[in-house]
Structure 1
Amino acid sequence: MADLLHPGRWTLRSRIVLSTVTVFTVVAVCLGLVTVLAVRNYQINQLDSRLVAGAARFNPQSGGTERTCTLSRQRGAPPDVLCQPGQGVGSLAALVVDGTVVSSGFVEAPGAIQPLSAKQRDVLAGVRQTDDIQTVRVPGLGSFRVIASRTPIGTAISGISLSDVSRTTRQVIFTELIIVVLGLLIAAVGVSTLVERALRPLQRVRETATRVSELPLDRGEVVLADRVREPDANPQTEIGQVGAAINRMLDHIGEALQSRHASEQQVRRFVADASHELRTPLATIRGYAELTRPYRDSLEPDVTHALTQVELGASRMGTLVDDLLLLARLDSGREIEIRDVDVSAVLLDLVADAHVAGSGHEWSLDLPDQPVFVRGDDMRLRQVFGNLLTNARVHTPFGTHVAVRLRRPAGAGDAEHAGSDGSGGAADAAGGGDGWVAVTVSDDGPGIPGELIDSVFDRFARGDSGRSRGVGSTGLGLSIVDAITRALGGSVSVMSEPGCTEFTVLLKPADPDVD
């Protein structure tokens, strides 16, 4: 509700329609006031002309033959002028002598003259004698336009009621209100329709920008084919100028993305070539270092230590080279040979190895009663879960409990549906939907710092010392986990807080008949 009351949060269409209707309303009200005043003034002028003509007949000095009958009638009788032909309904006449109304009357209907009450006569007795026409309110009869003229007998007062003028004014106001309301409705609908049509190009520009914003621009080769249509990018219009600016921006972004992709490809080719070229000399170094093992007891301790470090360094370098080569292959889009794999057996072997390699940790494995098969590659899956177990072992202190849990898909129907769409499966998997085989590796260690949680799967990303025991790492383990799971059509996610870190790998289940 607060958003609706804040004009800055209204849509452009709403603001234009409201502004137009407001201007139309102000103009209509002004025109209506001018019209009402003009009609009222015109009627009053017409009424004043009739009043002057009637007063001339009531004034004995006007040269007319009419004489009042008040001198020959009983005191208080209506003036004879009211009995003359041509006196309209609403006419009023009175004769004031020495401040007292001696004769008065009011034409209530054709041929029906009503005498005035004492209160009404007192009001007329107080009318100022002047040549100007005055507006006087007579109790019980309403407002009158009156003129008071001096005569040899006294003051002759003639008046005409303003009731017809007021009635006409009310009718004009009512008619104008109906016209204004109908005009506002027509204007609102018409302006809304015109604005909607005028803003359609802007809507198409927005749709183009939305489609571009939904593209995965963070990795790989990106082709920005979407552009604002030529009619919507006409620089002669305001919206066209926006569309043309967006097209120029997309051209620059597309060029930048192509340059970035080309640079990434060069780096990947270099890493792949360098890693490939390093494998042979590293294998040679390791081979010669291993040949010296039988003779190390006869060598000096310093020499023995140096040869041991050479062998260990060559082994670590070989592992790094193998990881880089694997990432280069996955980046190049080289497909992994996928078949049905018993992930239960894979986890059983890896947790058993972890017991041996990390005897200072507590390990637990939770498996379903029946084997669970997934679509994948046995060696790559062992690499994925092996990296996760190694990560939990080397980055947590002794005594940490590491739990591995395997969950079956919720239903075979969901599994078939999820596995049939390779493009949309990963997205659904990321949301933890049913139909996926889920493997979780959790520990109760210190957790991953919040500032590193979003980049934990980036290459060469490393946690701080709070999660490490001084064991060095290449920073490629989790990036390999992410690359392999995506290549298999699945996903990996992490949730971490102090005392609980959990990695979840979602994989496509095998066909039901295999299980």
Structure 2
Amino acid sequence: MRPRSLRGRLVWGAALLATAAVLAAQIIGFIVVRSWLLNRIDGQLDDFILPGHAYSRTVDPAPELPPHADSVTLPSDFRIMFYDTQGRESGRLGGGKAPGPGLPSSIDRLELSPGKPGTVRAASGSGRWRVMIKSGPDQTSYVVALPMDMVDGAASELLWLNAVVLAVTVTGLVVLGRWVVRIGLLPLTRMEQTAREITAHDLNLRLPDTDPRTETGRLSTVLNTMLDRLQKALRERESSEARLRRFVADAGHELRTPLTTVQGFADLALRHEDWPVSARREADRLIVQNAERMSLLVDDLLLLAKLDQEPVYAAERVDLLLLAADAVGAVAPQSPGHEIRLEPVGGGEDGVEPAETVGDPHRLRQVVTNLLTNAVTHTPPGTTVRVRVGTTRATAECGGRDRPGRSASGPPLAQGSRICVVEVIDDGPGIGAEAAGRVFERFYRADPSRSRERGGSGLGLAIASTITEGHGGRLELETRPAQGCVFRCVLPGGH
């Protein structure tokens, strides 16, 4: 069988339940009314007392009476049959148009106990009589009877009335039930129509009924939340695919230039074997330089892939002050045009103090070195670069909250928690707001030139942010055009 719709199940289910309830009420009413009428007849039979002179005249009929007592009509529906001491019929009282009770000629064949009412059929026709045996004088007895026409008639009328009421009730329930259920299911109908429109073309539509006091409203709220999450996931997937395509394009662009250079000079060296030694040496130098460039780029890509797939970091106590000092010592000789200073966080007069955290010393050294290298690479000679190291508490000023003018690579740390900070501050030209929001993207460079000498491949900050987030921290950038940049590495403080 094909399953019915929810509307059909509700209508027919309610109709069946109501039909069962009405039918049960009618059956109970029928039984109660019939029992009441029957008890009333039994009460009349039990209360009936035959006068003594009527009994004597019936047993010894007077000369003026007809030979049979049936001709005597009582002013009621009672019928009485007398039996002698031998149990044989000796006379009757009562009469009328209706046939009397079909009583046997011997009281022994009646199979009734004295004082207990019973039911017998009429002498002819389909009528029934209620009878009761009572004791008479001198060990005689008589049977008093009342017709059950009122009981049977009332029961028949009540049955017909119940049948009509039941039919009207069921019909009304089905007709009105369909209307009531249709009104009640309007929210579900609207949800169905909206869902079809969402499926067809418009993912921005949402279910309209969101009243938390109703079941459909709560369901709509849950479904709207699910749709929001699905739409967000789709957008993230599209954004991820776009980033992947851009990543592949940028990687191909970065690799194409050195490959073209290597291939070009190699072809020239093979075609012109009579080149002078100086020209050949210059070609070899350029081939080696571009090969190193490709090697560094491939190493960066492999490192990012490794950090994304299965980042494995050591868990050692690391003093960020030592890492910063090492980075300054390594970068300063390569950047003679920049003044690099090592200071405490806040720029106070107090000397720098150790800032210990737990992590991988090699990877964290790489973060500090990348930040410092990025600062000296993107600022002109004569720029002062300050490397500040220290411990503090996460606040809106540092690590604990996002705010306008600040870009970050991860979520803020808990307000008030102890943190370790390494800041790289320069007084160079700064970065525009649009570029600041993308500096942590892979292969992104504010400089439109693709020359590695003017900014590298755009993977240094991406690597630094990935490592920092892997240690439970984040990178922050605060910049104001023409006033320099602040790159801040925020890490959880060691215990």
If the TM-score is normalised by the length of the shorter chain, which range does it land in?
0.3 to 0.5
Bigger proportion of residues as helix: 1
* TM-score normalized by the length of structure 2: 0.47
